[in-house]
Amino acid sequence: MIKTFIAFLFILFSLNSQAYSSDPYTIEIEQVSMPGTPAIHSFAFAQSGGKWLFIGGRTNGLHGFTPATAFPKQFSNTNIFVVDPGSTQTWSRNIFLDLPYTVTDQFRSSNMESVQSGNKLYIAGGYGYDSTVNSLKTFPLLTVVDVNEIIQAVINGNSIAPFVRQITDSRMQVTGGELEKLGDYFYLTGGHIFTGGYRRTVNNQIYTDQIRKFKINDDGINISISDYSASTDTIEYHRRDLNLVPALKDNGLTKYLIMYGGVFKRNIDLPYLNPIYIEDNSITVDYGYEQVMNQYTTAYLSAYNSAAGKMHTTFFGGMSLHTFNEITQALEYDSLVPFIDDITTLTRNQDGTSGEIISTEKMPALLGTNAKFILSDSVPHYDNDVINLNQITGRTLAGYVYGGIRALLPNNGSSFPSEYILKVYITPDFPLPVEMLSFSSSVIRSSVLLNWVTSNEENNSGFEIERKVSDNINTDWMKTGFVKGKGSSNVRNTYTFEDRNLNTGKYEYRLKQTDFNGNYRYYNLTNEVIIGTPDRFSLSQNYPNPFNPSTVINFQISKGNNVTLKIYNSSGSEISTLVDEFKEAGYYSYEFSASGKLASGVYYCKLNSGGSEDVIRMILLK
C-alpha cells in the first residue's frame, strides 16, 4: 500500500535571529514500489534518458568497528545496475565480466566521490578491497564513464569496457569527500585516505584537510588533470562524510557550492556546524551560523527562489547532532550523532544570514544516510540541478529519495541497506505574483495568436513572449514581443499577442512575467504549435510601405521549387536578388534594405517559383 507523508514546514529556530517568516515550500513524500531494484548505499550515480545508473556501494548496513565487521568484501556491490523508474524495470551486469581488476576494484568500492557532467560520470577514489594486495585501501584513481552508452550496454547485455577510462593519480586518493563541478573546474572537498580495516584503537585514516580544484580533460580516449591547486586548512577542512550542495545567488546568475556538516572535529568526535561557501575565486567559512540538524552525508534537494533571493536545502533524514522531540517540542542534543527521521530545510538568505526549519512530519523510518536524491528531469531547474522555485506552479514531482542506510534504532542498533524508494513532491508556499487562469494558442496560416487570462496580479510589469523551435535542440529561447501588465490587480484580465510570419515548423512558447523589481517567473504553453504547409503560391505586400530604409517581404509556396525573389527599379533593371535557390514548401520572410545610392521612388518585387510568378509595388520614401 502506498503511504503519503505531507511535510508541513514551520519555523523552529534561527541562530542569527533572522527568522524565515514563511515556509519556502511544502514537501510530500510518497512511498513507491520498484521490484527488483538494488538495496545499496554509498554508490556513484548518474542518469540519462530517464534511466538511472548505479555503480559500487555496499549491500550491508552501517559498517562495524572491527576489521572483520567493518567493510567485508562479500557486501561490496559487484553489479552495475540500470533502473527505469517509469516502467520499474531493472537491468544489471557483473563488473568482472568486462573489466580488469584495476578497474573492478574501484567499481565495487564505497564512498567514491562522483559527479555527472553532461554524458560523463566522473569517479574519484573510493574505499574498498584491493585484489593485488588482498586488503582494503583508498584507490588513487580517476575514472570517467560514458553514461548513456554504458546504460545501453547493460540493457542490451553488451560489454561496458569501451565506455570506461581510468588513470592513476595520487591526488584522487580520497574517500568520504565530495566531488562537484563549478564552471570549468571540479572541486574535491574534504575526505580522507583510509587504509586497512577499521580499528578503533589504530588511526589508519589520514584526512586531506583540503579543498582541491582542477580541470579534467577527456577526449574519449585519454584522461588528464590540469590547472590543479589545493587550499589547506587543518581545522575547518578536516571533514569527511559531508554534504556538498550546488547553490545560486544574485537572482540565479551566480553559481557556488556550500559545504554543510561533516565529521569529525580534531581531538573530539563531534560534527562540524559552520557552513563553507565555495565560489570561483574564494572559499569562506561562515562563523556566524551553526548548522543544527543533518551534519552527515544524506539525501538532499536544493531549490532557489530568485524573487526573494533565498537558497534552500532540504535534508531527508540522515544523522544529526540534534533531534526534535515532538512531545516536548524541543531539540535534544546527542553527541553520538544518531540516525534521525526528521526532514529539515536550511535557508541562506539574500543578506547572508541563515536559518533552519523542521517538518512536523517525518521520514517513514530512520532513513537518508548515504542515500541519494534523484532530481526529476521534468521539474524546472537550473543547469546545476538547483530547482527553480519561481517556475513551479502547484504540486510538482521533484524527484526520488533512493538507497542509503535504514536503521532500527537511533544509536547502537541493527542497520540495513534501505529498501525504501520515495517520490518527493514540492509545492511552493509563497504567493504567485500572477495567478494564471489559462494560456492557449491558435494558428492562422503563418501566424500564431496567443491568449492568456489572469485572475490576480501583484506588481506586474508585464510579459515577455519567448519562442523556440521545438524540433531543434540547439536553438535557444528568443524574445518575440512584450505585453504590458496591469501592475496590481485583483480582477480578471485578458491578454493577446500575435506572432506573425513564421516558417513552417513546430514551436514552443512561454511567457516571462517580470515585476517592477526585475524578478521574474515563466509560464509555459503546454501544447506544441505547428505551422503547416501552405496550400497555395502567394507573395504578400511588403511592410511597411512606403519604407525607409528597410521593409519586410513575405511569401509562401505550396511545393518545393527553385525560387527567385528579386527587386527591380521602375525602368525594369534588377537591383537586388534576395533569393535564388531551392526552397521547400513553406512560409518565408526576407528583409530588403535600400542602399544609400537608391533614390526615392517606385520599385518592384518579383517572386518566381516553378513557373508561378507574382509582383508587388513598393515605394521608397526618403
DSSP secondary structure string for all residues of 425-453: EEEE-SPPSEEEEEEEEEEETTEEEEEEE
- Chain-centroid distance of CA 87 in Å reads 23
Beta bridge partners of 617: 604
Q: Are 544 and 551 in contact (CB under 8 A)?
A: yes
Helix (H) or strand (E) holding 526: none
Type of residue at 539: L
Burial (CB < 10 A; 0-12, 13-18, 19+), residue 299, is buried
Global pTM exceeds 0.85: no
**Count of CB atoms situated within 10 Å of the CB of 254:** 11
- Residue 7 forms beta bridges with which residues? 27
Cα dihedral sign for 378, 380, 382, 386? Answer: negative
Q: Which regions of the chain are under pLDDT 50? A: 1-21
**In 168-202, which positions are buried (b, 16+ CB within 10 angstroms) versus exposed (e)?**
ebebbbbbbbbbbbbeebbbbbbbbbbeebbeeee
Q: How high is the pLDDT of residue 19? A: 36
Q: Is the separation of the CB atoms in 184 and 150 below 8 Å?
A: no
Length of the chain as a residue count: 622
Do 538 and 563 contact (CB within 8 A), yes or no? no
Q: What is the pLDDT of residue 23?
A: 64
Supply 178's cell numbers.
565530495
- Give pLDDT, residue 11: 39
* Residue of 316, 286, 323, 287 lying closest to 300 (CA atoms): 316
Peptide bond into 546 cis (omega under 30): yes
Whether the CB-CB separation of 388 and 380 falls below 8 Å is answered with yes
- Domains of the chain, each with CATH number or no CATH: 4-428 (2.120.10.80), 434-531 (2.60.40.10), 538-620 (2.60.40.1930)
CA distances from 372 to 3, 203, 314, 401 (A): 20, 29, 12, 6
Could you tell me where the DSSP H helices lie in 115-260?
A: 147-156
Q: Which helix (H) or strand (E) holds 106?
A: helix 101-107
CA distances from 34 to 84, 87, 390, 415 (A): 9, 9, 32, 21
592-621 confidence digits (pLDDT tens): 998 778 899 999 999 999 889 999 999 999
**C-alpha–C-alpha distance, residues 18 and 274, integer Å:** 16
Q: Which pairing describes strands 520-524 and 505-515: parallel, antiparallel, or unpaired?
A: antiparallel
pLDDT at 1: 28
Cα–Cα distance measured from residue 169 to residue 142, given in angstroms and rounded to the nearest whole number? 7
